[in-house]
Amino acid sequence: MPRPPLWVMRQAGRYLPEYRQLRARHDFLTVCRTPELACEVTLQPIRRFGFDAAILFSDIMMPLESMGVELAFNPGPVIGHPIRSRKDVEALVVPEEGQVTPFVGEAVRLLRQKLEVPLIGFAGAPLTLAAYLVEGRGSKDFSRLRAFLYQEPEAALLLLDKLAVTMVRYLRMQVAHGAQAVQLFDSWAGLLDPDTYRTFALPAVQKVMAGVADLGVPRIYFANDAQALLPTIAEVSAEVLGVDWRMPLKEVRRLTKDRFVLQGNLDPAVLFAGPKVVSERVRAQLAQTQGLRHIMNLGHGIMPETPIDSVQALVDTVKQFPGT
């Protein structure tokens, strides 16, 4: 049985000295918007660690500018005019495919010329994008989003639908330029109870998934902190399900009826515990998933302060598995 493939969420990012060096000269938005820089940053972790896939360096909020959203980063996303009413939702533009962040398409095209491993494109799931749009910025619990769903259900559904249509176009554009898989990040799905998730989040996820189904690329759905939602998530039309570290993969598999290749779910905090602990934990994880359909990854994005030697230990342990 060969080892599982390995990549790491946010593998292009601040834990890498070469990324910090580049960022000292260019701010975050400039890197996102300049295809040559986005391409370079995407390649950095591939060069250093030889991950089995690259993921485009960008931010889930980027395509929202094409919808007319005023967007800044400080350092998390800040929305100029948060969405709080049906009128706000109606004012959002649904851009045509060619109008959604063309610089991302160009970055993908450049990357495919240089990459020898598959390139994963991505988008934010509608619920997660709506969370930022309604709240106006990051939050511990996005209670304004949930209040909006409860108080203005029809406006919320319209918002989620507009986001879904835009994300379909955004992902189609990425695949047209060369992305070989797509991941939909639902970082805030876990804020909802199953009924609310089924009413609001799920239809929009399904719309995105259906909208890219004909492209024939693997579709990855990453749902964070979503343990209570797994029986509902089992219905999502995706090939791969990414999950955080909070539930053993065996239990995830059971609750989702073994419908997905699972991706994850090493706790990113393990990487702060030193290379020895990393190797032990990674080996334990791999032993448990051996023979099952599994893509090795962290359960969440790698943290900016992560020591490089821990990442190296992760990579070495996976590449040497099962070893001699």
Interacting residues with its own copies (CB under 8 A): 140-141, 143-147, 150-151, 190-195, 225, 227-228, 245-248, 251, 267-274, 277, 281, 300, 303
- Could you tell me the two tokens for 188? 């805030």
Q: 201-204: long-range contacts (C-beta < 8 A, 24 or more apart)?
A: 201/125, 201/126, 201/127, 201/160, 202/232, 202/235, 202/236, 203/157, 203/160, 203/161, 204/125, 204/126, 204/127, 204/160, 204/161, 204/163, 204/164
14 is catalytic: yes
Closest CB to its own copies among 97 and 267? 267
Phi, psi at 187, each rounded to 5°? -65, -25
CB 154 within 8 A of CB 161: no
Q: How far is the CB of 72 from its own copies (least distance, A)?
A: 20
10 is catalytic: yes
Q: How far is the CB of 255 from its own copies (least distance, A)?
A: 10
Closest CB to its own copies among 169 and 300? 300
Q: How far is the CB of 274 from its own copies (least distance, A)?
A: 6
Catalytic residue, from 132, 170, 197, 221: name it: 132
Nearest to 255 by CA among 225, 234, 224, 238: 234
Closest CB to its own copies among 191 and 205? 191
Closest CB to its own copies among 139 and 237? 139
Question: d(Cα 306, Cα 268) in Å, to the nearest integer?
Answer: 9
Q: How far is the CB of 231 from its own copies (least distance, A)?
A: 9
Closest CB to its own copies among 118 and 268? 268
Catalytic residue, from 3, 15, 20, 23: name it: 23
Catalytic residue, from 3, 14, 84, 112: name it: 14
CA 141 from centroid of its chain's CA atoms: 19
Question: d(Cα 23, Cα 12) in Å, to the nearest integer?
Answer: 12
221 is catalytic: no
Q: How far is the CB of 182 from its own copies (least distance, A)?
A: 26
Closest CB to its own copies among 161 and 267? 267
Catalytic residue, from 3, 48, 59, 259: name it: 59
Q: How far is the CB of 229 from its own copies (least distance, A)?
A: 9
CB 220 within 8 A of CB 265: no
Closest CB to its own copies among 68 and 274? 274
Sequence-distant (6+) residues with CB within 8 A of 187 are 60, 124, 125, 128, 222, 224
Q: How far is the CB of 265 from its own copies (least distance, A)?
A: 9
In angstroms, the first-to-last Cα distance of the chain is: 13
Active-site amino acid positions? 10, 14, 23, 59, 132
